[in-house]
C-alpha cells in the first residue's frame, strides 16, 4: 500500500558560511513490507546565491530509493520528494546507505543515512494469530486374546455318524448271534433243515438291512 512517511529531511546550504551544509537529521529510518511503497521529502534551504544541487545514492539504496529531481536549481527553497519502494522479492533484512547532497560545483558536500527495515508479517486468523499446542487424545486399547478356532463338525453330520455307528453295532451283534446259533445247529443237529433255512433267510434279511443303512447315509 502506498503512503507518505511522517519524516522529513531539511538541508541548509550556506547558513554558517559560503561552503557550509547542514542536515536536521543524520539518519532517517523506515519500516516497510515487501512490495510496499512510501515517500518522504527533502527540503533544501539556500542562504547564498542560487545554485544547482545534485543528489547521489550509495549502491545499497539504488534498488529502493528514487529521487524525483536529482539536480534541482535552488534559489531560496525547494522540496524534493524521494520515493521508497521495496521489491516484492526482498527478504527480511535491514538495508542502509547514504544520500549525498552536493552543491557549488562540488565544493559543498554532505550526506545523511537512510535505513530501511524490511519486515515480513505472518498471516493472522480472525485478527489475531495464536499458536496453540496440539491436542492429544489417548484412546485406551483393550487386550485382545487370540482364540484358536478348531475345526468344528456340523451337528447334523455328527448325529448321522452316531446313528450309523449304533446301527452297525446292533447289526453286527445280531449277525454274530445268528452265526453262533447256526454253527451250533450244524455241529450238533445237521438234519435240522428247516432251522437252517430259516437261519439263512434271517441272515439275508440282516445283510439287506445293513446294506440299506449304508446306502441311506451316503
Q: What is the largest CA-CA distance in the chain?
A: 175
Quick check: 12 pLDDT over 60?
A: yes
Long-range contacts of 173-179 (CB under 8 A, 24+ apart): 174/206, 175/203, 175/206, 178/202, 178/203, 178/206, 179/203
pLDDT score recorded for residue 107: 84
pLDDT score recorded for residue 126: 56
Quick check: 111 pLDDT over 90?
A: yes
Quick check: 28 pLDDT over 60?
A: yes
Average pLDDT, stretch 191-206?
70
pTM as predicted:
0.54
pLDDT score recorded for residue 1: 45
Q: Where are the alpha helices (DSSP H) in 53-192?
A: 155-188
List, edge to edge, every strand of the sheet that includes 27-32: 27-32, 108-118, 93-103, 51-57, 73-74
25 pLDDT band (50/70/90 cuts)? very high
- Please tell me the distance from the alpha carbon of residue 120 to that of residue 107, in angstroms, as a whole number: 42
pLDDT score recorded for residue 7: 85
How many CB atoms sit inside 10 A of residue 25's CB?
A: 14
Average pLDDT of every residue of the chain: 79
pLDDT score recorded for residue 18: 83
Average pLDDT, stretch 152-158?
55
Amino acid at each position: 500500500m502506498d503512503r507518505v512517511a511522517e519524516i522529513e529531511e531539511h538541508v541548509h546550504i550556506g547558513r554558517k558560511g559560503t561552503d557550509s551544509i547542514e542536515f536536521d537529521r543524520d539518519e532517517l529510518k523506515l519500516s516497510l513490507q515487501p512490495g510496499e511503497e512510501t515517500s518522504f521529502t527533502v527540503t533544501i534551504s539556500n542562504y547564498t546565491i542560487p545554485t544547482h544541487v545534485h543528489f547521489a545514492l550509495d549502491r545499497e539504496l539504488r534498488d529502493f530509493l528514487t529521487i524525483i529531481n536529482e539536480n534541482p536549481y535552488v534559489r531560496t527553497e525547494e522540496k524534493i520528494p524521494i520515493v521508497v519502494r521495496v521489491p516484492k522479492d526482498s527478504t527480511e533484512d535491514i538495508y542502509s546507505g547514504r544520500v549525498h547532497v552536493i552543491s557549488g560545483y562540488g565544493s559543498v558536500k554532505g550526506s545523511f543515512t537512510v535505513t530501511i527495515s524490511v519486515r515480513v508479517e505472518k498471516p493472522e486468523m480472525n485478527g489475531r494469530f495464536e499458536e496453540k499446542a496440539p491436542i492429544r487424545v489417548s484412546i485406551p486399547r483393550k487386550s485382545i486374546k487370540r482364540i484358536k478356532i478348531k475345526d468344528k463338525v456340523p451337528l447334523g453330520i455328527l448325529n448321522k455318524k452316531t446313528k450309523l455307528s449304533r446301527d452297525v453295532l446292533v447289526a453286527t451283534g445280531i449277525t454274530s448271534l445268528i452265526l453262533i446259533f447256526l454253527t451250533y445247529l450244524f455241529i450238533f443237529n445237521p438234519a435240522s433243515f428247516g432251522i437252517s433255512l430259516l437261519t439263512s433267510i434271517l441272515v439275508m434279511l440282516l445283510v439287506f438291512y445293513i446294506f440299506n443303512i449304508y446306502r441311506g447315509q451316503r
